Structure formats: structure tokens, C-alpha cells
Amino acid sequence: MEETEIVLLRDKAKVMRKIMIEMGYKCGSSAHFGGGLSIVEILIALYGKVLKFRSEDPRWEDRDRFILSKGHGVLGFYAALYTFGLIGDDEIASFQQNESEFIAHPIMNLNFGIESSNGSLGHGLSLGVGIAIAARMKKKTFRTYVLLGDGECNEGSVWEAVMCASHHKLNNLIAIVDRNSMQNDGKSADVMSFASLESVWKGFGWNVLSIDGHDIDGLVNSMMPIQNIDKPTVVIANTIKGKGISFMENVASWHHGALTKKIYEQAIEELS
């Protein structure tokens, strides 16, 4: 990408983080901040450059599919949908309000570009495998992107999907792992350690890329179509939980928390 384009996308990342903080404060209750803030650049790269979609026609048949498997990252997801024209002010303002569809985890609504409902971890990749297989059977060229958390990779269902995708050589499927190295209960390595996350995915037959998950240009390059490959791709995105808000970064208690007026103002000041 040109440097000017990268700068514009970085600016959108700042705006998205501000939207997230405002949503989390105005809802009047607790929200998932840490894992939403860590995926902002991933979502910017996807919606700003990689994904084929039409904001004016979210049900376009040939659109690329995006599944937020780590559903608790929904603050970042809603901010991306808003930033790129798939939802509006009313939807953002309704976050976690009575009778709203925009709650703490995504609810499938194709009119808003939300491809799947996700709450319990470990199911998004299986859905993505099914969509990728269906695309191949229908001779469609769209690609399916699934964003998981590194803590989510503790779920056995993830690895069943990983095996299935490899067996079927689903080169139209891309998984992105948000490796922020933390989860609700603390450091991911303390909860369930991997000798090497890259080696595990590679052992299952995937094409594996490991990058800085806050480098928008690198993310775009890693998620663009790869020619002459007969296997699915996983991008291990190394991120910081709570990225962009100093007192939230790498602090497990901000996986899910509430903002007081003072803390809200402090966060907004940092983002400004």
C-alpha cells in the first residue's frame, strides 16, 4: 500500500478505538474491552483493504465472509461495521440496551453484515469450514475469514475444524488468531500452554504466517489471496490486549469491565 493509504487506515484505527470506548461507557454496564481493542488493526486491514463486500448491498452473493469466532471482541466488530458503513448511529447507540440486537456477542443479521452468531468459543472455525466447502461446491470464488482468539484455541472443536479444513485443502479459508497472550483468567500460557502455536497449525497441514497484529500493511499483505496453494492459511497475529489504552494494555481485569466517568475521560484523552 501507499504510505498515504496506510496513514488513513491508522487514523481509522484511532477513531474505532474511540467509538469502542464511547459505546462501552454509554451502555451503562460492563463490556469486553481488552479483546476488542487488540483486534482493531486486524479489522481495519480486513474491511479497509482485504474483504470484498458492498456496504450498500450487505447480502451480495459474491461477498467474502467474515466470522468473528471470538465473539467477545464484538466492540471492535461493531466499530468496524460502523466505520465502513454497514451499521449506523442508531445501532451503535443501542449497544447493550433493552431489546437491542447489538449485545455483548454478535447475533447473525445479514442486513448488517453479521454472518454468524457467536458466544460460546470454539465454533466459528467449524462454521467457516462449512461455508468454504459450500463455496467450492457452488463454484464460488469468495473467501471466508475467521478470527479466533489464542485462548479460544484451547477448545477441542477448533482442532477438529483445523483437521477438516486441511483434509479438504480449503485454500479459500483464512483463519486469523489474535494472539494477545491473555484471557479472562490470566496469561494464556498459564491457563493452557502451547510449545509453539505456529508448529501446531503447521503440523495439521496449514500454511502458517506469523506477524505483528498491529501492523496494518503487514496484515493486508498476509491476508491477500495466495496463488498456487492447495491448503488453508492461518495468520498468527501477535497483539497487545487492550491496545491503545495504556492502563488496559496487558491487564487481564480489562477483559471485561466497566468504565467510570473518570476512567472514560482518561481513555478518551489518551486517544485524542
| pLDDT value at residue 1 | 82
Residue 272 has pLDDT above 90, yes or no: no
Q: Tell the residue number behind the cell numbers 464511547, with chain if given.
A: 22
CA of 163: how far to CAs of 43, 158, 167, 168, 197, in Å? 26, 9, 6, 9, 15
What is the spatial distance between Cα 145 and Cα 152, in angstroms, rounded to a whole number?
16
The predicted pLDDT at position 61 comes to 97
Phi, psi (degrees; rounded to nearest 5) at 207: -80, 125
pLDDT at residue 178 tops 90: yes
Q: What integer pLDDT is reported at residue 193 of this predicted model?
A: 86
Report helix angle 216-223 to 3-26, nearest 10. Answer: 100
- Residue ranges and CATH numbers for the domains of the chain are 3-271 (3.40.50.970)
Task: For residue 185, name the pLDDT band (cuts at 50, 70, 90).
Answer: confident
Supply the pLDDT for residue 225: 87
pLDDT tier, 186 (very low <50, low <70, confident <90, very high otherwise): confident
Instruction: Output the pLDDT for position 195.
Output: 78
* Statement: the pTM of the whole predicted model exceeds 0.95: yes
pLDDT digits (tens, 9 = 90+) for 112-149: 999 999 988 999 999 999 999 999 999 999 999 999 99
Band of the pLDDT at 194, cuts 50, 70, 90? confident
Mean pLDDT of the chain: 96
What is the Cα–Cα distance from 188 to 208, expressed in whole angstroms? 20
What span, in angstroms and rounded, lies between the C-alpha atoms of 59 and 76? 21
Check pLDDT > 90 for residue 80. yes
Is the pLDDT score of 258 beyond 90?
A: yes
Query: How far is it, in rounded angstroms, from Cα 75 to Cα 22?
Result: 10
| Confidence tier at 226 by pLDDT (50, 70, 90) | confident
